[in-house]
Amino acid sequence: MSFLSADEHRFLSAVSQLAYCNPFLPERAEFEQSALGVDYEEGEPVWSLPVDEPERPRANVWRVTAKLEPLAEQLRRRLLGGTQATTAELVLYEDAVIHLLYTRYYQKFFESMESIGRWGFYREFGTDWRHFYELDGVMLPTGHDPVHTFACFRQIQRAFEQIFRDIIGGSMPAAKLRAAIWQSIFTHDMRRYRRTLFARMSDFATLVTGPSGSGKELVARAIAQSRYVTFDPNKLAFADEVVWFFPINISALSPTLVESELFGHRRGSFTGAIGDRKGWLETCPQLGSVFLDELGDMDPAIQVKLLRVIETRTFHPVGDTASRRFQGKLIAATNRDLAADIRNGRFREDLYYRLCSDQIATPALADQLADSPHVLRELVIYMARRVAGAESEELAGEVLHWIERNLESGYPWPGNYRELEQCVKNVLIRRDYKPARSSAGDSTEDFARSFREGRLTAEEVLSQYCAIVYRQTGSYEETARRLGIDRRTVKARMATDKHR
């Protein structure tokens, strides 16, 4: 007899694709539908956390598992009974068992996340593994290792929960962002990742771009907290239970302090260096990540040193000739147009091309709302829970009512998610919020009309133009850079515009 019937082959082919797909892309639903046929339950095309209603169980996931359970046992018995299978059919069997074991143990991984050291269920996992993979007289082609697979399962589960619960929004831009983060962690080919790349992803720097307040650090943390960690089956423990994340805000520090924070220094290397100090690049362990926020503000001299770190994984502390090695992963973020900065000589082109092998763009809040207006309600409820706890439902209602009554339809939220969060907090404290864009008369259209008609003084032109650019960037520094004026001038002009 044939090892697989035509229907079984179709089902297992869909399960095989499902086992290795990006769960945040619409293709995941397509594979579930292909596997379940008429038993597939229609739902949202992408997975997003439902913040304004109870989270529904992922029904199609468990339907696939329920259909797979008896079939996996039947296939095992056929193999033990001597039924011949092709290499391609054996790979489908292996993929099916991988998917089955992951869903079978998902909840135990989830429950153990908060319980350091409680990985004793690996023994039970090992029993199931031997049951399906160690078959007398059968040589399976892939050569999966149970310990490595267990470690991969934990990483996948941790990454999914991290992305699913922290990147909020049912819009397609939010779904694409979740998928991009997943790809940054596992690449587009999870089979290749499982075989070899799991040990090499720290070699690739990640660059996160997007407007101010759009969640770039949230993305960086999700990547940093989803690293692969080896498992010791004898100690029943993972190599490290601590997530190491070292953020440095470049724009908040002088170049000297940035260099010291990043590379460390020797005593006496500059004024104020009263002792030796290790920088984050040296402190960061192999499983850690250093996050450089506002990378576009980095001094050119430090850019040269950072380029060496990316190219050779080595660096020198300030005032020291001895080389040090950086073991962790580098993640950088900026809201600036680096291509323009390269043209203007503010950013090194060679550094950019060392960083852009893995690039993620965070969407503006306006992009999410243009795609799915209901996302505003989701985000307000999510933020209200963070700031008000048990009072969140009442607060969310107050915030949404205030927004509906006081902001025009299509308000662009120039400060993005950070601005929305401040709106929530302002309504909580004062039942009011004063956005930087204070009236309809400040709109770009009104400015352009007044400009064409010659009704503005030179002072008004500069003040209103500063306000327009600030609404786009959400940053005094970036506005000053674009306009070629001092940051203090921008603030002064903004104040003038607000009191016009």
Mean pLDDT of the chain: 89
Section 331-337 average pLDDT: 94
pLDDT confidence bin for 440, thresholds 50/70/90: very low
245 closest CA partner among 307, 183, 316, 293 = 293
Q: Is residue 437 predicted with pLDDT exceeding 60?
A: no
- Buried b / exposed e over 170-208, threshold 16 CB at 10 Å, is bbbbbbbbbbbbbbbbbbeebeebbeebbeebbeebbbb
Q: What's the pLDDT score for residue 154? A: 95
Q: Is residue 438 predicted with pLDDT exceeding 60?
A: no
Half-sphere exposure of 251 (CA within 13 A, CB side): 17
Q: What's the pLDDT score for residue 116? A: 59
CA 341/CA 362 separation, integer angstroms: 19
Q: Where are the domains of the chain?
A: 6-198, 216-361, 365-430, 440-498
CATH fold of 216-361: Rossmann fold (3.40.50)
Q: What's the pLDDT score for residue 122? A: 96
Q: What's the pLDDT score for residue 441? A: 41
Q: Is residue 446 predicted with pLDDT exceeding 90?
A: no
Which pair of tokens denotes residue 217? 């650090």
Q: What's the pLDDT score for residue 458? A: 87
Percent of the chain with pLDDT over 70: 93
pLDDT in tens, 165-187: 999 888 999 999 999 999 999 99
Q: Is residue 55 predicted with pLDDT exceeding 90?
A: no
Q: What's the pLDDT score for residue 455? A: 78
Give the residue, 48 or 361, on which the prediction is more confident.
361
Find residue 333's DSSP bridge partners.
208
CA 338/CA 207 separation, integer angstroms: 11
Section 472-490 average pLDDT: 80
Q: Is residue 439 predicted with pLDDT exceeding 50?
A: no
pLDDT in tens, 254-305: 898 899 899 988 776 666 667 788 899 999 999 999 999 999 999 999 999 9
pLDDT in tens, 233-251: 999 999 987 888 999 999 8
Q: Is residue 442 predicted with pLDDT exceeding 60?
A: no
Q: What's the pLDDT score for residue 320? A: 84
Q: What's the pLDDT score for residue 66? A: 95
pLDDT in tens, 87-124: 999 999 999 999 999 999 999 998 886 665 589 999 99
3-state secondary structure of 1: coil
- Contact between 223 and 180 under an 8 Å Cβ cutoff? The reply is no
pLDDT confidence bin for 56, thresholds 50/70/90: low
Percent of the chain with pLDDT over 90: 66
**pTM for this model (two decimals):** 0.85
Section 133-156 average pLDDT: 94
